[in-house]
Amino acid sequence: MTSSTPVLGHWAGGAPYAGGSPRTADVTNPATGRVSGRVSLADESDAAHVIAAAAAAAPGWRDTSLARRTQVLFAFRELLNSRKGELAELITAEHGKVPSDALGEIARGQEVVEFACGISHLLKGGHSPSASTGVDVHSTREPLGVVGIISPFNFPAMVPMWFFPVAIAAGNTVVLKPSEKDPSASLWLAALWQEAGLPDGVFNVLQGDKVAVDALLDHPEVKSISFVGSTPIAEYVYERASRHGKRVQALGGAKNHMVVLPDADLDLAADAAVNAGYGSAGERCMAISVLVAVEPVADELVARIADRTRTLVIGGDDAGGEGDMGPLVTREHRDKVASYVASGQEAGAKLVIDGREVAARGEADGFWLGPTLFDHVRPEMEIYTEEIFGPVLSVVRVASYDEAVALVNANPYGNGTAIFTNDGGAARRYQSEVEVGMIGVNVPIPVPVAYYSFGGWKRSLFGDTHAHGAEGVHFFTRGKVVTTRWIDPANRPEGGLELGFPRND
């Protein structure tokens, strides 16, 4: 990496914006360990410039017809569908996930784009004629103005797309602050919006770190904040933005449990545990990190999971194609996850498969850590209490269904959970009794489709509105009620005052 290497900047007012901050951060290819570029880290002046571009565009986009807005959304959808391979390559190069995983991320984000194409129906108000004599009442939903989105490294395309299609379709302008670890996807999306015909300033990108985040949280032009990340930062974002009167949806961390009952199909459960525990290298808030085995199935289930885990290809395959799992996003994160593996050993959990010993099919300096499987994990162990955010699956053994539910409900997180069983009554009971926002029945990663809303309970969500779906539409709009009265001259009282008192005759 040389001093002449181009620096990825911001996007403001429909064009790249270099900004004036001298601060930059390295962008690294996780599969090679080499620095592949640099990204600008905004200062307060840069942030103000990008936010001002969004604010200047807000009145015009607010007044643009719904028909025109949806035309732009459809055009964006078509362009994204035809060129999603380009975006997947950027994600793989900067995040490290395998290409099929990157394409899957884009597909889930595109579902929200398609949902937003039909937003006209969800923006309809209500109308009550003659609510009182000669008085009509109607309601509308109107955009907020400038909205801020702060997204994490693990889904540089999908997570922003949980928010910005709905926000834009509803008539808002957007400032996206992506992770500095994989910033290129945001600029690619900005250019695609421009190609789709979105007016300048409606979609903007602010690169940076905490300085950029705080600018969005504090700036009076920014009316709402949508955030996805760790629970400590989600709590910080919620408290600081709320103090400034902003609407906030801050989605935090998770410790997702998969409960396996004795009557479950163990092959299905083992397949699901491998997929949900190790997909995307475990770097997703909906990953299954705890498998709760209701005895007497634990021994057989652990053996089946271990057999499947040993067949996974880490890195590229022998022909140079993609494997089943890529590297972790940074060397620091890889080392942190490895430290949790050591902690589990020291605490007495049984290490069935040690991902630190993986022979990855890739460059030696890549940030590799293979699938790791622990058995006989206890709730007081650090590998159970902490969100590891890596390919580490912990098996906790319990004696009964009731003990399993009590374990899940005692956890401070409430993002996602799954139950594997062939008993419909047990599944129905679990849906009712578990204190978690998203539940899968024989589905390991219960991420809702776009027309339902995504979000957890307890310390997995700060704010009371989930992402996309009808809740997302309500988050990015505010209600207005209009009461009208037109005096009929024929009914005006002769010689008397019209005091406007309600009449219900």
**7-252+460-481 has which CATH code?**
3.40.605.10
Strands (DSSP E) contained in 387-462 are 392-398, 413-414, 416-420, 438-441, 457-458, 461-462
> Would you state the pLDDT for residue 97?
95
What is the fold of 256-441? Aldehyde Dehydrogenase; Chain A, domain 2 (3.40.309)
Each residue of 428-440: pLDDT tens digit? 999 999 999 999 9
Each residue of 316-370: pLDDT tens digit? 755 456 899 999 999 999 999 999 999 999 999 999 999 999 989 989 999 999 9
Residue 67 predicted with pLDDT over 50: yes
> Would you state the pLDDT for residue 6?
81
Burial letters for 430-469: b for 16+ Cβ neighbours within 10 Å, e otherwise?
A: beeebebbbbbeeebbbbbebeebbbbebbbbbbebbbbb
Each domain of the chain, given as residue ranges in start order, spans: 7-252+460-481, 256-441
For range 181-192, the mean pLDDT: 98
Each residue of 271-329: pLDDT tens digit? 999 999 999 999 999 999 999 999 999 999 999 999 999 999 999 755 456 899 999 99
For range 79-83, the mean pLDDT: 97
Instruction: Report the alpha-carbon distance of residue 62 to residue 72 in Å, rounded.
Output: 14
> Would you state the pLDDT for residue 322?
80
CA atoms within 13 A on the CB side of 201: 16
Residue 56 pLDDT grade (very low, low, confident, very high; cuts 50, 70, 90): very high
> Would you state the pLDDT for residue 491?
65
Q: Which residue has the tokens 């565009």?
A: 57
> Would you state the pLDDT for residue 487?
79
Please check whether residue 463 is in contact with residue 253, taking contact to mean a CB–CB distance below 8 angstroms.
no
Instruction: Report the alpha-carbon distance of residue 451 to residue 16 in Å, rounded.
Output: 33
Please check whether residue 436 is in contact with residue 447, taking contact to mean a CB–CB distance below 8 angstroms.
no
Q: Which residue has the tokens 């910033």?
A: 183
Q: Which residues contact 290 (CB under 8 A, 6 or more apart)?
A: 255, 256, 257, 258, 377, 384, 393, 394, 395, 396
For range 409-427, the mean pLDDT: 97
Q: Which residue has the tokens 């600018």?
A: 215
Q: Which residues contact 63 (CB under 8 A, 6 or more apart)?
A: none
The dihedral through the CA atoms of 80, 82, 88, 93 has a sign that is negative
Instruction: Report the alpha-carbon distance of residue 259 to residue 255 in Å, rounded.
Output: 13
CB atoms within 10 A of CB 262: 15
The residues that are catalytic are 285
Instruction: Report the alpha-carbon distance of residue 163 to residue 178 in Å, rounded.
Output: 13
Average pLDDT, the chain: 95
- Least Cα distance to 388 among 366, 408, 373 occurs for 373
Instruction: Report the alpha-carbon distance of residue 19 to residue 29 in Å, rounded.
Output: 25
CA atoms within 13 A on the CB side of 480: 8
Residue 406 pLDDT grade (very low, low, confident, very high; cuts 50, 70, 90): very high
Residue 205 predicted with pLDDT over 70: yes
CB atoms within 10 A of CB 222: 23
> Would you state the pLDDT for residue 319?
47
Residue 47 predicted with pLDDT over 80: yes
Q: Which residue has the tokens 């690294």?
A: 28
Which amino acid makes up residue 350? K
Residue 497 pLDDT grade (very low, low, confident, very high; cuts 50, 70, 90): low
The dihedral through the CA atoms of 74, 75, 78, 84 has a sign that is negative
Q: Which residue has the tokens 């390991």?
A: 444
Residue 244 pLDDT grade (very low, low, confident, very high; cuts 50, 70, 90): very high
> Would you state the pLDDT for residue 348?
97
Residue 500 pLDDT grade (very low, low, confident, very high; cuts 50, 70, 90): low
> Would you state the pLDDT for residue 134?
85
Torsion-angle region of residue 419: left (phi > 0), alpha (psi -120 to 50) or beta? beta
Distances (CA, A) of 217 to 172, 212, 221, 250: 17, 9, 10, 12
Instruction: Report the alpha-carbon distance of residue 473 to residue 456 in Å, rounded.
Output: 18
For range 202-219, the mean pLDDT: 98
Please check whether residue 94 is in contact with residue 29, taking contact to mean a CB–CB distance below 8 angstroms.
yes
Determine if the peptide bond prior to 296 is cis (ω within 30°): yes
Query: Mind spelling out the 3-state secondary structure of 266-297?
Result: HHHHHHHHHHHHHHHHHCCCCCEEEEEEECCC
> Would you state the pLDDT for residue 290?
98
